[in-house]
Amino acid sequence: MNLRQYFNWRTYLVITAIGIVSASLFYTSQLASKLAVEERKKVAMFAEGIKSIATAKNDEEISFVTNIITQDSSIPRIIADESGNIQDLKAIDTAGIKNVSAYLKQKMIEYKSLNAPIVVHYEFGSVYIYYGESYLLSRLRYFPYAQLAIISLFLVVVIISIGTAHRSIQNQVWVGLSKETAHQLGTPISSIEGWMEIIREELPNNEYVTEMQKDVDRLKLVADRFSKVGSEPKLQIENLVPRLEEMVNYMQKRAPGKVYISFEKTKETVEANISGPLFDWVIENLIRNALDAMEGIGTIIIQLKERDADVIIDVTDNGKGIPKHQISKVFLPGFTTKKRGWGLGLSLSKRIINKYHHGSIFVKQSELNSGTTFRIVLDKI
């Protein structure tokens, strides 16, 4: 298995983002752990200060210790006795709290889940110091997640921007290639039409000349199709049945002798809003792909049916099928399994159906050595 087929620039961007966030999480976690240790030391010092006040011999010692333990007001603390009765609190704002007692009880439970309380033993009893995290430490723990959100947003913006730019370049290439193809076809087609007139004068009512004229008309139609790519085509309501019948008849005459193309319909009139020449081009592309997949022998079935809100056209062959890992790529520009061709047929077909006809085209199903079904869905009139 070639793993490189599963990697593209989006994959590398995501891997890079994951690496940045992982490194940030690790570093922040280490930093938060060190800060938590330092904060516990401060609370332990505060506890020792309380104990020193209880055993102080004069007012000067009490004043000295009090100044030391009141300098740090960044860590929220609740001091309670052995029965859980709150004796004092530090760095906790209770302004606007209706039930202060219940609020502090809840805070004690919260702090106990974060840190083990520090116990201060006196001669006549003990007190418990419940403490939480400083504002800095709590924000430090959430910082990687904020960073992850920012990087994710950045990735989304980058991917959308690059995708839009890529599609714009593709559109320009398609339009330029199509216009140039139509231009290049114009001169030889005009020349062939002139030679056809001379041959028709020499061989009037000849069957071969009639068939050659049909192919010249087809070339003119192909040139017209290419000239329409890049400009908004005019859609009109048409019956799909005769168009598909005509396309099947045309392709049957040009298919290998051991390939049979059939057309199945549920009604004689199935209407949709289409551009006739471009719609025919899509069907022709699908049939040609089916012919290539069958390698000279097999059956192609074109099915036309209606549903409540849309029209379905299925093109099914019993050829070699498409490998599962390639199904998602068949509509990409340049993708082809053939030794010749530019791989633009299905890509242009998708553009014609999706952008111009506001429908969808996709691989309905495909199995190796059993065949493939392409489905077109158009809005019902």
Please report the domains of the chain, with CATH numbers, ordered by start residue. 3-133 (no CATH), 233-379 (3.30.565.10)
Confidence (pLDDT) at 337: 64
Q: How many Å apart are CA 120 and CA 43, to the nearest integer?
A: 11
What confidence tens digit (pLDDT) does each residue in 312-351 have? 999 999 988 888 888 888 887 766 666 555 557 788 888 8
pLDDT of residue 303: 95
Read off the pLDDT of each residue in 153-162 and give the average, rounded to a whole number. 80
Tell me the residue type at 257: G
Confidence of residue 262 (pLDDT cuts 50, 70, 90): very high
Q: What is the mean pLDDT of residues 208-234?
A: 77
Asked if residues 366 and 329 have their Cβ atoms less than 8 Å apart, the reply is no
Quote helix, strand, coil % in the chain, to nearest 5: 55, 20, 25
What pLDDT digit, counting tens, does each position of 123-145 carry?
A: 777 888 899 888 888 888 787 77
CA distance 362 to 328: 9
- Cβ-based neighbour number of residue 330 at 10 Å: 21
Q: How far apart are CA 130 and CA 85, in angstroms?
A: 12
Q: Dump pLDDT digits (tens) for 243-254.
A: 999 999 989 988
How many other C-beta atoms are found inside a 10 Å radius of the C-beta of residue 37?
A: 9
DSSP state letter for 327: H
From the list 128, 32, 127, 129, the residue with the least C-alpha distance to 77 is 129
Q: What is the pTM of this model?
A: 0.52
Lowest mean pLDDT among 5-9, 165-169, 240-244, 266-270: 5-9
Query: Which of 229, 238, 182 minimizes the C-alpha distance to 351?
Result: 229
E strands in 292-368: 297-306, 310-317, 360-367
Q: What is the pLDDT of residues 185-200, one digit of tens each?
A: 777 888 888 888 888 8
